[in-house]
Structure 1
């Protein structure tokens, strides 16, 4: 459904709501958050962050020894630490839209600081005290948002989204092969199933687990919007189960990094249930969903689109309402990777892996004799014997709890809607440019992927893109595509960092699959609008740099 640019205007109700949430939770205001008055932090915030200079890291590179003496006169942070922070990436800049990273909110910063001072280790209740209950409370809240039964679900904070996906694979293996924790997987035949559009951790984790990747991993095709192809999935799964080959884990994606594709989790669940029933499969595949980026969409599970209390504009409201069945489908997953450190506005690292059923953690339990120096009757108070980590810091849990409970659903809805409306606004602008093709334009999310072509009076970007998608063999037409890619790449480098700081991607799209199931990848550019500070005017400036009269072959 196409909309005019005017329909993407922000409503007064939304602008008021956005300004309120931003001023209260994202402004680094010392009147609301006194810690920002700490002298070194106040000075650092006042000076701002700067791009790297050629000599800005020279002193750090020269440092090789620890000082012999204590600095008893110190009343502030070491100068080189402040310098390193000053020349780090500035995620508070409204132009920072490179990837799925954003500036953390004030409550999350303070929550993480609180945990750093308290220093609990969540792996064991004796080392964490009531912090264990704070993690459990947060898990119940997230379970409610997903649609899990909060009395049956569980979860653990872990060290990044890759660990979350690792838990998903490991859970499937332990369910399928209960003795694998002691005896390994040697001699076991199985197939892991994931999507071609999934995050790279979907593959690197399999290497960590010792999987024979060429022979034990089946990558399912994706459609033109990079969503899992359900027909190919059904064919792949049924073939495995018909031959009696176990499928420990099916790994899906709820918001791909480059085009924000959301797999149909409910349909995958239904296909899996029917296949298991048909072939009398003794152990069902474990369905894990990588929702590291896309999970905040669950804030709209029960949103009243008719009342529209936060004032969504019409194009975003209509798309979001259409997407609602996919969002609610997340409850059919057996486990889910959730990164608060991305669209949750919490500092690194703040990753949570959710499990639909508490009893699943029994599959991950190790021999209790390994844990002889812990009080046996207290090991059940945490997931000590089931975690990959021997230590679990609490900064992620505290930061996430503070963000979730201070912003609330309304605050999250507002900031997520801010991202979505920015993304849809950019798509609408790009679609008016005769030399630009928006890739997966129907996907709703913070990510916008597009491809620029060398302007010409006869250029038809839709026809050109369709032609690219039909190619498989090297020849003149692929040479033509390479030329367009080179033009776009050079133009990207020519304006890089001058307006929106976008990112170059080697595979925003692909060709159709040939009869061998192979395809070629098509490069392009992307912007990811997680940034709470990016406004329409910054997007307008970026669009100006892409107008046909501005798009000249860079020298």
Structure 2
């Protein structure tokens, strides 16, 4: 049966659609403009949650009515990471520019798996900019992915190929007979463990190296672990250093790790999920000395880079090895020198995804519109705010700092009997207050309030509001625990 005009998904009335689109855009701009008038987060009522468990209506809904449902039932109950008072996890705040770029990307609907098209040139230009930022060679490769969790997995897989050769893609890791082992800090992100699991090595093949008093990977302990594994007949192949540990924001001694990897012929990977982009901040970048010696770097533009979710990235020094670790020829992906199938190598040759969204556009817009200098100032400011929070905590006898403040993460607690219980209740009370939203972690066996200052909108007043609310609600929580 031939299609009729009614079968299209385009609007029957473009003018009406245009007006509704403008209303939707205006609502989101209003939302961002007036964030401070809203709570950071608020619990979702049961009736709203139940509404999302209903079956799909048989009759299509009007766009305007669906938009009204979004405004009523979705927007008020989001996590709130765009809000300046959000400090719960390392989430970027996004920007109005990034939001508009996402709209453009959605309209273009490009698949960046491959072929000869301008969106891929945008991604390649960002790769070029990233190479320069980290002082990598022109032969280095880069790829947008969902986030650092995927980038860390790709790093492990490339390191596997570097150690065992490309035959491992056919024969598997067991065929070579070597027992490969990897190393990372006890403070590293769980995605390193997951990467070893997914790659087929198993989490037991990952050595969790203890940290020192600065929460950095203990280099002497790392050297001992490598020596013991080699003596036992195992093959060390991968070390992941961290720039900005998830718990306290510590920076591993990258220079020492780089020298060790070079000496032992081990792949040096850096998990810089949020911390790697500190290279944009001249006052912080020197603390990342050694990152330019890495074999691969994983990081997120959607954290300190303030790009809307998601925009992860991996940079690999040896672009040819990166290509050989993933490229998979197929008849339906045949390359040409002319026409739409030109432009090889394609992004799909450097990772597992053939269908890929246009993540590069919102990143490209962010870098072009704001510039590296301004983004660097945002990063520096979040670290300065963390130091202000540290000073406020040290000035309050009822509060206790639980870890050094290396970058932009502050871990502290309210002093009281049964402190773990009190601080757990206190964090929930802070979140439900709508004033500020920290999270929790565990430092040396003690439950800590964890404030991660990532949002470019956060100011001194937001830090003071969190500390003032902590003192007020902490007293209530402590009295409640004693009653």
TM-score interval, normalised by the smaller of the two chains? 0.7 to 0.9
1:447 aligns with 2:435: no
User: Alignment partner of 2:48: what SS?
Assistant: coil
Distance change >3 Å, CA 362–CA 410, structure 1 → 2: closer
TM normalised by structure 1 equals: 0.74
Give structure 1 regions of 4+ aligned residues with deviation exceeding 6 angstroms. 34-37, 47-50
1:382 aligns with 2:346: yes
CA offsets, 1:158-187, max 9 Å, x none? 122110000111111111122221111225
CA offsets, 1:497-552, max 9 Å, x none? 433211122x2x22xxxxxxxxxx33211111112222212222322234499635
Following superposition of structure 1 onto structure 2, how do residues 45-56 of structure 1 map, counting pairs within 5 Å? 45-46=29-30, 51=42, 52-56=44-48
Following superposition of structure 1 onto structure 2, how do residues 303-342 of structure 1 map, counting pairs within 5 Å? 303=282, 320=283, 324-342=285-303
Q: Distance in 2 between matches of 1:162 and 1:140?
A: 22
1:423 aligns with 2:411: no
The structure 2 residue matched to 1:263, chosen from 252, 263, 288, is: 252
State the 1:45 CA deviation.
Answer: 4.9
Q: Distance in 2 between matches of 1:96 and 1:491?
A: 15
User: Alignment partner of 2:52: what SS?
Assistant: helix
C-alpha contact 1:254 1:295 (8 A) present in aligned 2: yes
Q: Which residue does the alignment assign to 1:154?
A: 141
State the 1:423 CA deviation.
Answer: 0.9
C-alpha contact 1:427 1:441 (8 A) present in aligned 2: no
Q: Distance in 1 between matches of 2:236 and 2:164?
A: 11
1:526 aligns with 2:450: yes
Distance change >3 Å, CA 379–CA 387, structure 1 → 2: farther
Q: Which residue does the alignment assign to 1:224?
A: 213
1:297 aligns with 2:278: yes
What residue ranges of structure 1 are gaps of 5+ in the alignment?
A: 1-33, 277-283, 304-319, 456-482, 511-520
State the 1:350 CA deviation.
Answer: 0.6
State the 1:244 CA deviation.
Answer: 4.8
The structure 2 residue matched to 1:501, chosen from 417, 421, 437, is: 437
State the 1:77 CA deviation.
Answer: 4.8
Q: Which residue does the alignment assign to 1:365?
A: 326
C-alpha contact 2:430 2:438 (8 A) present in aligned 1: no
C-alpha contact 1:299 1:412 (8 A) present in aligned 2: yes
Q: Which residue does the alignment assign to 1:237?
A: 226
State the 1:373 CA deviation.
Answer: 0.7
User: Alignment partner of 1:99: what SS?
Assistant: coil
User: Alignment partner of 1:261: what SS?
Assistant: coil
Q: Which residue does the alignment assign to 1:3?
A: none
User: Alignment partner of 1:191: what SS?
Assistant: strand
Q: Which residue does the alignment assign to 1:39?
A: 23
State the 1:431 CA deviation.
Answer: 1.0
Q: Which residue does the alignment assign to 1:65?
A: 56
The structure 1 residue matched to 2:194, chosen from 193, 204, 211, is: 204
User: Alignment partner of 2:53: what SS?
Assistant: helix
C-alpha contact 2:258 2:290 (8 A) present in aligned 1: no
Q: Which residue does the alignment assign to 1:134?
A: 122
State the 1:249 CA deviation.
Answer: 1.5
1:542 aligns with 2:477: no
Q: Distance in 2 between matches of 1:137 and 1:193?
A: 33
Following superposition of structure 1 onto structure 2, how do residues 476-495 of structure 1 map, counting pairs within 5 Å? 483-495=418-430
Q: Distance in 1 between matches of 2:250 and 2:188?
A: 9
C-alpha contact 2:142 2:315 (8 A) present in aligned 1: yes
C-alpha contact 1:491 1:554 (8 A) present in aligned 2: no
User: Alignment partner of 1:125: what SS?
Assistant: coil
State the 1:44 CA deviation.
Answer: 5.2
Q: Which residue does the alignment assign to 2:5?
A: none
C-alpha contact 1:337 1:353 (8 A) present in aligned 2: yes
Q: Distance in 2 between matches of 1:80 and 1:548?
A: 36
Q: Distance in 2 between matches of 1:170 and 1:361?
A: 9
- Bigger shift: 138-147 or 323-332? 323-332
State the 1:54 CA deviation.
Answer: 3.0
C-alpha contact 2:80 2:86 (8 A) present in aligned 1: yes
Q: Which residue does the alignment assign to 1:471?
A: none
State the 1:59 CA deviation.
Answer: 2.5
1:95 aligns with 2:85: yes
Q: Distance in 2 between matches of 1:199 and 1:248?
A: 19
Q: Which residue does the alignment assign to 2:15?
A: none
User: Alignment partner of 2:236: what SS?
Assistant: coil
Distance change >3 Å, CA 486–CA 89, structure 1 → 2: closer
State the 1:141 CA deviation.
Answer: 0.6
C-alpha contact 2:20 2:64 (8 A) present in aligned 1: no
Distance change >3 Å, CA 35–CA 348, structure 1 → 2: farther
What residue ranges of structure 2 are gaps of 5+ in the alignment?
A: 1-17, 337-341
Distance change >3 Å, CA 381–CA 98, structure 1 → 2: same
User: Alignment partner of 1:112: what SS?
Assistant: helix
Q: Which residue does the alignment assign to 2:4?
A: none
TM normalised by structure 2 equals: 0.85
Q: Which residue does the alignment assign to 2:162?
A: 175
Q: CA RMSD in A?
A: 2.6
State the 1:405 CA deviation.
Answer: 1.4
